[in-house]
Structure 1
Amino acid sequence: MRTPAAGHTLHVISHTHWDREWYLTFQQFRARLVDLIDNLLGILDRDPGFKVFHLDGQTIVLEDYLQIRPQNEARLREHVREGRILIGPWYLLNDEFLTSAESHVRNLLYGHAIAEAWGGVMKIGYLPDQFGNIGQMPQILHGFGIDNAIFGRGYSLAVPGRKMELIWRGPDGSEVLAHHLAFWYNNAQRFPADPDAAVQYAQGIIGRQAPVAATRHLLLMNGVDHLEAQPDLGPVLAGLQGKLGEGTEILHSTLPAFIEAVRAEAAPLDVHEGELREDRHCQILAGTLSARMYLKQENARVQALLERGAEPWSAAAWWHGGRDERDFLRFAWKRLLENHPHDSICGCSIDRVHEDMLPRFAEAGDVAELVAERSAQYLADRLDTRALPEGGAALTLFNPLGGPREEVAVVEAEFLAPGAPHTVKALTPEGEEAPSQVLDVRDTFVRRLDPHELPRGERVRRFRLALDAAAPGGGWNTYFLVPGGAGGVEGVTADADSLSNDRLSVVVLPGGALAVIDLENDVEYAPCNLFQNGGDVGDEYRYIPPVLDRLVTNAGAAATVSVEASGPVLGRLRIDTRLVIPEAGTPDRRARAERTTAIPITSWVTLTRGSRRVDIETRVTNGARDHRLRALFASGADTETAHAEGHFEVVTRSIQPPADWPGASTFAPQQTFVAVEDGERGLAILNQGLPEYEVLPDGERTVALTLLRCVGRLSVGAEGGAEDADYNDTPGAQCEGEHTFRYAILPYRGGWFAAGVAAEAHAFNAPLAAAQTGAHGGPLAAAGSFVRVEPEGLVLSAVKPAEDGQSVIVRVYNPTGEPIAGRVSVAGAGEAALVRLSEETLRGLELQGGSASVEVGPKRIVTLAFRR
């Protein structure tokens, strides 16, 4: 209904915002959720005038509630079917930047599945409180048939001329009609019962919002965190009709109705392109990128197990006659997703909340690992390995990435003892020796499980070795380990304070930092892996350096270097140093304490045969408080931008803060890498679960990788003073104890895409996995591909069983600004279709030898379904 031009239509949205855990634990908040839904059902049962309530765009709350109140399922379902309770489209509201691209897709898949089973999905891209929004969200939403977004953070109306309504355009060109909750999702939190007060309340909302609204339709959010429905809302709204000015009406409305009303106005709207991370007045709370870093690391570990292990290899095993693992995958994903709301994964809750997260990570990881291992073993046991020499072991290496790989894999193999060899070498199935290096030999016992017999123990000799291996994209290759010493090959040289191969040289500097020399391009990068420590008197949300900060580095400090591995395939140095730093911030939070403590730091620096990157594992034993620890890497690049992997894209960001935004955060999110380059010099820093970087605007364009940010409060006052201490104390966020970090240095020349930076980062995060088998015939070749993606510029994002169990889903994306003509193949496929992210079929595709041609536009995501 179009209202007269002189007035407004006020869309009142009954809702709650449901943080499952935050300043209370999940169970404590769930008790409040049970009360909320109990009371909501009572309101809906007795008051037909209370039209509708929004359950925060989530569906997990239904599961949470019914675990306690299963007897109320029928009542709840009835109101959902009638459209009086709106649910979905999400499983839960996740933090966008700290979770993977594929996790967003699983979140929407499970949210849609639940909502559809209950009677309908609210097709609103509801993003009320995420700490900024990723650039590809418009394309992701379109993949589920959602053409709009309602969001809370990352867009500032302080920019002159802006309105709350806009067109949000993704990097691929996908557009959604968006509404910015500029006055938050509680701008009409509770209407007064008194009629005159209610009129004044509503007129105040109109006065604030109308000047920044693009149409006559205004959104009034009646609710906020954990609040129940306003039971007298119907009579209050009825009493307001006709009292708010000529032509103004007030409706008990829905988010879909509001979006359609705005769309119908066809008002000219500004276009915003890419991510929403504006920090001015928007509170994107960028300090959460590094709060409780151990959570980010665990999340990355489990995501990798699912996306690069359990899903692709269970799909391949099922394709070749193995079991259907979808139930296990769904359990693991949903358990992991429970840790993805911002109050959880951002590390900005009370200590008990984050203690409760660790078992979820462990459970999801255990299931993912189990599925990956037994799927890989199923495949390995069906390979033709009859060429295996007697007394040997066949080791099959699995590559989950789309392109072929030639790299050193660190693997383990077991031989029964007694009679086990003292050393082994590796052969290809054709009998040629592959370069290898034994790193460790250990005699131990293993437990063998049998479904029909009790477990039995066996004595084995376990070899850990570095193997210079090759594996095709999306497939496997098999090597035979046989008794005997490895032949001599040239590869890596390890000296007292240096490593080198044919591409790189690494020299340890005084204090323990590194100089990395790109031998192919004759360029040196130094110092690298220099540790810098500074104060942080902020909180879990915000990094706040003390006014009188004191920075400490290990430049020139005492360091000891030892060679831990030296051989033709792998060289490794151990570097021990320590930082002597203030033990805490001062009580007034303006400086760092005079009293100091020593922080031991050990880095293992590894270089392998033919590798383009230097792998680093750093162990820190933290005994200090109120500080931030970063590793610094001098790039020397002449540039004003950095390129960081995001979600289905690589994001280019300025390294300079906005001149007109005092206090804007200068650190930013990444997935697996950040790169700086100027054509001649390029330096990428790869990481495993370390999502915060900063490129310093110094002469060296130094890349700073955050390892630890240690604080003791959930929240502090704006000036750094403490608020309610009982509410805020979070000693667990000081992250005391031992931590291990993994990252890598990749020098290059030219641009990040041509240099294959993304492929190296993905390989670093998804090492070749191994399964051991014996000599046997089988229907599968000892080397082969299940999925192939060409050309290598297309990134393979997912290989998974389809949700309906009828096909294999393959997803690729184009990270570049140019179209790519490619091919995607699944061995033995007889049918293929182009599908949405939701896995809904769009159209069939012609196959040639199991291969489908795809045209992938700039920054586009393409999903295909293959059937036998």
Structure 2
Amino acid sequence: MQSRIPAPALALLVSALILGLSRPPARADALTDQMDQLAAQQVVSMPMTDWKFHKPDTPGGEAVSYDDSSWQTVAPGFEWPGENTTVWFRTRYVVPATVNGVPTEGAALRFEVGVNDDGQAYVNGKLAGYFHWDDGHFTLAEHARPGQVFVIAVRGINGPGNGGLRHAQMVYDLLGPVQPMYARYARDAQFVSQAAFPAGTRPQAGRVLAASEAQVDMAAIRAHDWTKGAASLAAAQKTLLALAPITRRYDVYYVGHAHIDMNWLWTWPETIDVCHRTWDSAMNLMTQFPDFGFVQSQPGAYAAIQRQYPAEFARMQQEQRRGQWDTVGGLWDESDTDMPSGEGLARSFFLGQRFFKAHFGTYATTGWLPDSFGHSWQLPQLMQGVGIQNFYHMRCGDGVRFSWWQSPDGSRVLKANTDSYDEPIEAGQMTRPWEMERNYGLKEALVVFGVGDHGGGPTRDMILQGREFQNDPLFPKVHFVTADTFFRHLRGEPQTQNLPVVDTDLQYTFVGCYTTHADLKKAVRSSENNLYAAEVFSSLAAMRGQPYPVQGFEDAWKPTAFAQFHDIMCGSAIHSTYDWMHQQLAPAFAFEQSQTDRALAALTATADTRGARPGEQPVVVWNALSFPRSDVVRMTVSDASQYGGARDGAGHLVPAQALDAHTVAFVAADVPAFGHRTYYLSGMMDAAKTPPALAHETGDGIVLENPFLRVTLAKDTGLITSLVDKKTGQEMIAPGQSANLLQVLGDNGSAWDIGYTGERNDLTTGADVQIVSSGPVCAVARVRHTFGKSTFTQDVTLWNDLPRLDVPTTVEWHEHGQLLKVAFPLQMAHPAARVSIPYGSIERPTTGQENPGQKWMDVTEERQETVGTATPLDLTGLYNHRSAVDFDTQRRGYPADLMPAAGVHTYGAAQIPFQMAGEGGPDNIACDGQAVPVPVGVRGDTLYLLGAGAPGQQGGTLRLVRADGRRVAVPFQIGDWVVGGGGRNDEALALNYRLSEAGQPDTASKPHLWIVSVPLPAGAAISQIILPRNPNAHLFALTLGGAARRTPLYGLTVLNDSKYGSDTNGNVFRLTLLRSSHDPDPNPDEGTQTFTYSLLPHPGDWRTAQSEQAGLALNIPLRAVMADAHPGRPAPALAVAPAENIVVGALKHDEDGGGYVLRLFETQGRDTVARLTFSQPVRVAETDILERPVQKRRITTQGRVVTFPVGHDQIVTLRITGLPDANAGQLARR
């Protein structure tokens, strides 16, 4: 997805037109200013106002001879209605003899055009190139001739909203014969003035530049004395070349790319058409430029090209073998990585990598997610598991261009980040290697160039511009490469091993996308859950003789993986995309259901159900998860009222309860992992043995109570006024507050961004609250609310033997410009937030930042204390900024009278001491490479930063200088001074108001100071800390000390079946439920929405609660099958231990031959010895995610027990052979 930007003014920056570069804000010197001014006088832009327009698309519209006389005449500014439409504009242009009285003979001539949204430009019947919005720049003639004729045709392609011809003009450069020399000298002088030469060569560069500029005869050039002017330019250029021995030590690497969004603002046929045209264009350029390298990800699109354009696909294969086409990414498409499950990402990698191997002979080695809106922490480990060693991204840049990105288990990939994934090629990029040298000791820069989506990829003009740079003897060495080639070079650099280590996920961008289009998010979650269960049951059934449909599962995983594409799952595509995606998923859902039913029928046929007494109905309850569990069983029956109890095989009675006329439920206890328990439904239980009803009314409330929880709801509001964990007696709700509070919040944001308007409507009045069910199995208090055109129905449900409170919710959603959250104010003073992520979990800020999470989010009360001595560092002489004056670059600041006075103050739960400067002068450091001295003898394993970012969260790399001279790079992020964010930021200070631009109190926006804890690598003592060059990161104080010890006391885990966004602000947790954004789909979630979230109070933290298991249990319910009485058969069994922190993410058949694949992951951050117990001897071998053999750990087999070490947070894949296998011999290795 590319951002939409407003149309630029038609006035043109001459330096961009004449010099072919995008000039940074800084100016070289007075001479460069003069050259720019003169060039400005010599560039003329001639608007093109006479165009012929035709809608819809028409074949041959580009042909010179095409008759457009009947077409409508229009001018720039014209708009046409119709989403996803294609139109034509045509005009005929004759070069005049003069423009503005100056002869055009020999002038350079360029055509510039902008179309909403994309276009293809044709000149005299030939394709000149593709462009996106205002990026249409096409050279018509290097040396124009009066009377020269050009027939211009533009094929316009619109997405959502109206399309339009935004601007069109001819641009003449009238500098005459000196123009090339003039442009080159201005470009090279600008380069020398802006390159950050190291201290040792800086004086020489300054002397050479001054001597060179003195040789330029501007007076002769102004007088059009071309001979004299050209001679002066040549002499000045020669003088500059004295710096070539220095500048040629540096390198710029250009990687060609075209980011193509799947079904973003267009339909699937158009997506494939874009791929076809773009990839064909790239291969044509490969023929012309043998060194041009081009990268392309997304095998899901490759497969479509293979079907529709087989000859083109064969050519792609040929170019890949020649080394110019680079298959990157490995995922089935450029997926979101925050919302797909861990196994969903693993399978997307599996599908994508095997496609590349099958059709291109190799696996991708570079991960490629330029546009995705967040990058999950376990991604490096998943990438390593499929053979990917490198990673490139643009969004969610962490301020670190090159680094090692590390998953929590320690798996690393080499990561590169740039500000854009579709840059033009410009001279300003030549100075970037000096920035890399200053920050990382590397003398190379990476540029990813091209135009994405309908823009057509890299253009011939871009490559020619790069060729010109290659031939400039003053510039750094310029290389056209593939991504793999660049990373191979980077890995060969000695300094690469010392790059910073980024040890967290990469966030935040477009946080509204965690919620927009809840329908598709629920569909993807459901398909992932269904596929997990179907694969487990089908594997167990294959062990009992039923063939496993390998191809059927692959066919179901492909649309599920495709739906994870970042613009699709994130809700930022047009409406028709979601209709289409649901259609693509429908066969997968049908397969998942039918295959699960077939497998369960086969499994149930092997269970012993002979224990039924007269009048009892055998029911076999199956557990697809890898740990024993007690949970709800729901069955559809003809008459639910005839059942009142259930008996297990040991004779234990449990109550059963009719939920409606055809649904009966009971709580099954301790159903074995990957196994079953048989129950016998019967009539009414003996009244003496029936547990009491779980609900009763009090004077002003409704109480739901079981052995674990006591929940009180207010009768007038339906809100939870008390939630008590009966095992500990801990009240979860903050005193005087109410929870489960639905909030409808004003939100004028697009699909991407939440745009809070300040409007807030708490649904606290007019509620209809009543007990609709109260029996021995469950109690349900139904709460109904209305707001605007919408209704909200919540069945607050407590089950007799479960420690969680379920809240299934139905919303008839008909709001616009609103966002729905549910709030839980908790009785906590020092909360810590953690959420589940793909195959893991991560801590989140408690600053109100909207966070991505998955099946569970947890808030735990902690006790914190600092371990060891904490020493504030002396920043005297380094303060360079006053917080009360323009703190955020928009003239807003902190109120001086509320800021701490000079001296030592302690902040945070751990009471960390900080030395504050106080008011009266500069009180913070706007980071710009300052060196902070560390006194001899001061040591610690944690650096505490006190500060804030503005505007937005900020970060950078701290370079630690050790006493032994070694340097270590450590990245950090710090939250925005108002809204927070930036990872684990503890609140140090919250003020009542900030100062507005006029210096007045602004109480609507309250500023903060945050504490960031930066763990330091072990090693020699630190003598100096060098701050990053990021003046938007402000540090008020630094303290070196021991780590803060955190002791969890109690907490609340919030489970869910389809939600991803949440925020924790102090002691208030909010789950984000629905949005009604306006763009690109104006009605993303109109209609009925159903979802469930659950509350799980616990002592300790998320580990004690086993939140990962609880989240899986809510998402993957027990399955019950009605059975006839029949004897059982011995069947293979599998048990996984320890169940509290080893969880299975997949049990499936091997794709290529006999055996089964078991994928498991460690959930609690501790090293473990895992134990698998089978019903018979087996062989177990480790594989990677692609099911290739690897040997990372020692696997020990003793009889039927297999043990092996699992490191903290690791994902482990195993192949199991020796079990019965109905597929044995049926699959050939692929």
Q: TM-score, normalised by structure 1?
A: 0.84
Q: Give, in whole Å, the separation in 2 of the partners of 1:603 and 1:835.
A: 46
Letter matched to residue 166 of structure 1: S
| CA distance in structure 1 between the partners assigned to 2:832 and 2:650 by the alignment | 49
Q: Which residue of 2 aligns with 1:554?
A: 763
CA–CA separation in structure 2 for the residues paired with 1:413 and 1:70: 53
| SS class of match (2:1164) | coil
Stretches of structure 2 that go unaligned for 5 or more consecutive residues are 1-244, 862-1047, 1219-1230
Q: Secondary structure at the match of 1:754?
A: helix
**Alignment map for 1:144-155 (pairs within 5 Å):** 144-155=386-397
1:259 to 484, 487, 491: 487
Q: Indicate whether 1:749 and 2:985 are aligned.
A: no
Question: Does the 8 A contact of 1:91 with 1:111 survive in 2?
Answer: yes
Q: CA deviation at 1:673?
A: 1.0
**Partners of 2:782 and 2:796 within 8 A in 1:** yes
Residue 275 (structure 1) shift: 0.6
Q: Which residue of 1 aligns with 2:808?
A: 617
1:490 to 679, 687, 691: 691
Cα deviation 1:769-823 (Å, max 9, x = unaligned): 1223222234236xx8444332422122221222224221112222223212221
Structural mapping, 1:14-413, within 5 Å? 14-44=256-286, 46-47=287-288, 49=290, 51-55=292-296, 57-88=297-328, 89-118=330-359, 119-157=361-399, 163-181=400-418, 183-187=419-423, 189=424, 191=425, 200=427, 203=430, 214-226=441-453, 227-231=456-460, 237-245=466-474, 248-267=476-495, 268-277=498-507, 279=508, 284-307=509-532, 309-389=533-613, 392-413=616-637
Q: CA-to-partner distance for each residue in 1:328-359, whole Å, 9 max, x for gaps?
A: 11111101111111110000111112222222
- CA distance in 2 between partners of 1:103 and 1:811 (Å): 12
1:500 lines up with 2:500 in the alignment = no
Alignment match, 2:1070: 704
Partners in 2 of 1:528 and 1:214 — Cα distance? 53
Per the TM alignment, residue 65 of structure 1 is displaced from its structure 2 partner at its CA by: 1.1
Hey, what's the Cα distance between the residues in 1 that align with 2:740 and 2:470? 66
**Stretch deviating more after TM superposition (268-277 or 431-440):** 431-440
Q: Which residue of 2 aligns with 1:603?
A: 794
Q: Does 1:474 align with 2:694?
A: no
Residue 691 of structure 2 is aligned to residue 439 of structure 1 = no
Aligned-pair CA distance for 1:440: 3.4
The offset of 1:252, in angstroms, is 2.1
Change (3 A) 1:202 1:75: same
1:576-598 CA-partner distances (Å, limit 9, x unpaired): 2223xxxxxxxxxxxxxxxxx25
Q: Which residue of 1 aligns with 2:857?
A: 674
Counterpart-to-counterpart distance in 1, 2:412 and 2:1212: 17
How much has 1:176 moved relative to structure 2? 1.8
Query: Are residues 1:637 and 2:988 paired?
Result: no
- The structure-2 alpha-carbon separation of the partners of 1:122 and 1:680, relative to structure 1 and needing over 3 Å to count, comes to closer
Deviates more, 1:13-22 or 1:676-685: 676-685
Distance 2:396 2:458 in 1: 28
Tell me if structure 1 keeps the 8 A contact 2:291–2:481. no
Deviations 1:539-579 (A, max 9, x none): 11100112xx2211123x12222222222112212122223
Q: Provide, for residues 824-854 of structure 1, a one-character-per-residue CA deviation record: whole Å limited to 9, x for no partner.
A: 2344351001222222212473323433212
Once the 2 structures are TM-superposed, how far is the Cα of residue 235 of structure 1 from its aligned partner?
5.7
SS of 2:1104 mapped into structure 1: coil
Query: Which deviates more from structure 2 when the two are superposed, residues 298-307 or residues 28-37?
Result: 28-37
> In the TM superposition, what whole-angstrom CA distance separates every residue of 1:92-150 from its partner, at most 9, and x where no partner exists?
11001011111111111111111011122230022211112111111111112222211
**1:220-272 per-position Cα deviation (integer Å, ceiling 9, x unaligned):** 212132223434666655444341526x3222211111112112112131221
Cα distance, 1:785–1:605 mapped onto 2, change above 3 Å = farther
1: CA distance, partners of 2:817 / 2:586: 28
Deviates more, 1:518-527 or 1:88-97: 518-527
After TM superposition, the score normalised by the length of structure 2 is 0.60
Tell whether the 8 Å contact from 1:504 to 1:517 is kept in structure 2 after alignment: yes
Q: Shift of the alpha carbon at 1:429?
A: 2.9
CA contact (8 A) 1:822 1:853 kept: yes
Residue identity over aligned pairs, in percent, reads: 24
1:458-512 alpha-carbon deviations (Å, 9 max, x no partner): xxxxx53324433011221122234565663226422242211111112211311
- The answer to whether 1:731 aligns with 2:922 is no
**Contact 1:405–1:472, Cα closer than 8 Å, also in 2:** yes
- Cα distance in 1 for residues equivalent to 2:443 and 2:1091: 53
Structure 1 residue corresponding to 2:1212, chosen from 859, 862, 865: 862
Greater CA deviation, 735-744 or 326-335? 735-744
2:492 alignment partner, SS class:
helix
Question: Greater relative contact order: 1 or 2 (C-alpha under 8 angstroms, separation 6 or more)?
Answer: 1
Offset, 1:7:
2.4
For residues 818 and 839 of structure 2, the distance between their equivalents in structure 1, rounded to whole angstroms, comes to 33
* Distance (whole Å) between structure 2 residues aligned to residue 600 and residue 127 of structure 1: 39
Tell me the equivalent position of 1:534. Answer: 745
Aligned-pair distance for 1:430?
Answer: 4.0
* 2:43 alignment counterpart: none
- Contact 1:51 1:84 (8 Å CA) reproduced: yes
Change (3 A) 1:481 1:235: same
| CA distance in 1: counterparts of 2:246 and 2:489, whole angstroms | 13
Change (3 A) 1:736 1:51: closer
In structure 2, the residue matched to 1:823 is: 1171
Matched residues in 2 for 1:609 and 1:785: separation? 30
1:695 aligns with 2:1064: yes
CA distance in 1, matches of 2:351, 2:1198: 33
Contact 2:618 2:1122 in 1 (8 A): yes
Shift of 1:677: 1.2
- 1:829-844 to 2 correspondence within 5 Å? 829-843=1177-1191
Aligned counterparts of 1:440 and 1:578: Cα–Cα separation in 2 = 25
**Residue number in structure 2 paired with 1:652:** 843
- The counterpart of 1:797, out of the listed 1135, 1138, 1145, is 1145
Tell me how far 1:860 sits from its aligned partner: 1.4
| Residues 760/177 of structure 1: CA separation in 2 closer, same or farther (3 Å cut) | same
214 and 122 in structure 1: CA distance in 2 versus 1, 3 angstrom threshold: farther
Q: Which residue of 2 aligns with 1:544?
A: 755
Please report how far the alpha carbon of residue 669 of structure 1 lies from its aligned counterpart in structure 2 after TM superposition.
Answer: 0.9
Distance 1:95-1:209 versus aligned 2 partners, 3 A rule: same
- Give 3-state SS (helix, strand or coil) of 1:651's partner: strand
| Alpha-carbon separation, structure 1, partners of 2:1063 and 2:753 | 15
CA contact (8 A) 2:305 2:312 kept: no
RMSD of the TM alignment (CA)?
2.6
Extract unaligned runs of 5+ from structure 1: 158-162, 192-197, 443-462, 580-596, 658-665, 715-729
**Aligned AA (2:358):** A
Residue 857 to residue 430, structure 1, CA distance change in 2 (3 Å): same
Contact 1:34 1:68 in 2 (8 A): no
Aligned counterparts of 2:380 and 2:835: Cα–Cα separation in 1: 19
Q: SS of the residue aligned with 1:111?
A: helix
Pair 1:504–1:130, CA change in 2 (3 A): same
